[in-house]
């Protein structure tokens, strides 16, 4: 068993009267792909937001590589090498793909005005290499707003890779993508893990996708951790099946 790169211990988070996460404890093994599933509204995105410092937690501890990070902000945590992508894509539609890639490394630049003028040839080469990696090289000069939704998700993934994360949290990476592109994305995620050594924590609704990706899975329901185990165990866990059936 590998070391844990993320350790979440007894984390709770409420919004007003709504308990979005209650006493969640889980670990993410270094170098592996871990799945996070659960019905809509079960608290998955909230947990991601807590881990990356998007909002303060009410109680508990979150450690990254052994360091407490629950009191750090998004930028500080990103600098440590822990990044997330969003359920809704966040690209600049009026910029071409290469520009989107170049501005996705904001923490390197001191001033906003430097971002467009002061990138290095090295960054440009890296941007093009990663666009090639996700299959978007031929589209690199197109406005990202003109890409299909699935291609935008691939772009967003490439933008995250620009930052050379140690750990990447992906929030429903395949949502809204057609089956052909989904297979391509699964392949890219596996390669990002195997070839670049990036640890992945993936929220995913599509069971086929997560079964193909994850070595270990956690399932949330009603803001609480319901089950954890190998994908086959989770898939056959009656509590998990009931949670999904009860949600529809
Ligand atoms: P999931 O990602 O599993 O669909 P979320 O973490 O988005 O679930 O939401 C869990 C619960 O927390 C839901 O009841 C949702 O309405 C609530 N919630 C999430 N974010 C906020 C917020 N910023 N303000 C108020 N309620 C929120
Ligand atoms: Mg969500």
Tell me the mean pLDDT in the region 176-202.
93
CA of 117 to the centre of ligand 2 (A): 36
43 lines ligand 1 (CB under 6 A): yes
- Rounded to 10°, the helix 149-162/179-194 angle is 10
CA of 122 to the centre of ligand 1 (A): 40
Q: What is the band of 125 on the pLDDT scale with cuts at 50, 70, 90?
A: very high
Beta strand pairing call for 167-171 and 18-29: unpaired
Beta strand pairing call for 18-29 and 4-15: antiparallel
User: Is the pLDDT assigned to residue 214 strictly greater than 70?
Assistant: yes
The answer to whether 82 and 167 have CB atoms below 8 angstroms apart is yes
Q: Give all domains of the chain, ordered by start, each with its CATH number.
A: 1-81+166-248 (3.40.50.300), 90-164 (no CATH)
pLDDT digits (tens, 9 = 90+) for 66-103: 999 999 999 999 999 999 987 666 789 999 999 999 98
pLDDT for residue 140:
96
pLDDT digits (tens, 9 = 90+) for 135-172: 999 999 999 999 998 899 999 999 999 999 999 999 99
Give the atom of ligand 1 at the shortest distance from the alpha carbon of 39.
3
**Residue with CA closest to ligand 1 atom 13:** 41
pLDDT for residue 88:
67
CA of 17 to the centre of ligand 2 (A): 19
Q: What is the DSSP string of 166-224?
A: SEEEEESTTTT--HHHHHHHHHHHHHHHHTT--EEEEE-S-HHHHHHH-SEEEEEETTE
SS3 label, residue 23 = strand
State how far the Cα of 97 lies from the Cα of 102, in Å rounded to an integer. 9
Query: How many Cβ atoms are within 10 Å of 238's Cβ, its own excluded?
Result: 8
CA of 137 to the centre of ligand 2 (A): 30
Q: What is the band of 105 on the pLDDT scale with cuts at 50, 70, 90?
A: confident
Q: What is the band of 180 on the pLDDT scale with cuts at 50, 70, 90?
A: confident
Mean pLDDT of the chain, nearest integer = 91
CA-nearest of 5, 50, 2 to 24 is 50
**Residue with CA closest to ligand 1 atom 26:** 15
226 lines ligand 1 (CB under 6 A): no
pTM score of the predicted model: 0.92
Q: What is the arrangement of strands in the sheet containing 224-229, beginning at the earlier edge strand?
A: 82-84, 167-171, 199-203, 33-37, 216-221, 224-229
CA of 2 to the centre of ligand 1 (A): 31
State how far the Cα of 47 lies from the Cα of 45, in Å rounded to an integer. 5
184 lines ligand 1 (CB under 6 A): no
39 lines ligand 1 (CB under 6 A): no
Residue from 18, 22, 39 whose mutation best tests the ligand 1 pocket (most atoms within 8 A of CB):
18
Beta strand pairing call for 4-15 and 59-64: antiparallel
State how far the Cα of 58 lies from the Cα of 136, in Å rounded to an integer. 41
CA-nearest of 56, 75, 59 to 9 is 59
CA-nearest of 87, 105, 77, 101 to 166 is 77
- 225 is written with which tokens? 């951790």
Listed residues: CB within 5 A of ion ligand 2: 45
Strand partners, 202: 35, 170
Could you tell me where the DSSP H helices lie in the chain? Answer: 44-51, 74-80, 97-102, 121-133, 149-162, 179-194, 207-213, 231-235, 238-246
15 lines ligand 1 (CB under 6 A): yes
């Amino acid at each position: 068993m590998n070391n844990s790169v993320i350790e979440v211990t007894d984390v709770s988070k409420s919004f007003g009267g709504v308990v979005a996460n209650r006493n969640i404890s889980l670990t993410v093994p270094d170098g592996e792909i871990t799945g996070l599933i659960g019905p809509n509204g079960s608290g998955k995105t909230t947990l991601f937001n807590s881990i990356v410092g998007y909002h303060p937690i009410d109680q508990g501890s979150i450690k990254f590589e052994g360091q407490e990070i629950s009191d750090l902000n998004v930028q500080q945590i990103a600098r440590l090498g822990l990044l997330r992508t969003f359920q809704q894509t966040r690209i600049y539609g009026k910029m071409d793909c290469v520009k989107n890639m170049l501005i996705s490394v904001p923490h390197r630049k001191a001033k906003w005005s430097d971002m467009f003028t002061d990138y290095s040839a090295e960054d440009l080469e890296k941007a093009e290499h990663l666009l090639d990696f996700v299959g978007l090289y031929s589209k690199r000069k197109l406005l990202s707003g003109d890409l299909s939704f699935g291609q935008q998700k691939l772009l967003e993934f490439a933008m995250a890779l620009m930052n050379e994360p140690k750990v990447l949290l992906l929030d429903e990476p395949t949502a809204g993508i057609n089956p052909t592109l989904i297979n391509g994305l699964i392949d890219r995620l596996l390669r990002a893990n195997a070839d670049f050594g990036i640890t992945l924590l993936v929220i995913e609704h599509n069971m086929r996708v997560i079964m193909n990706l994850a070595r270990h899975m956690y399932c949330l329901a009603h803001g609480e951790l319901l089950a954890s185990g190998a994908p086959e165990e989770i898939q056959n866990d009656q509590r998990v099946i009931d949670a999904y059936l009860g949600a529809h």
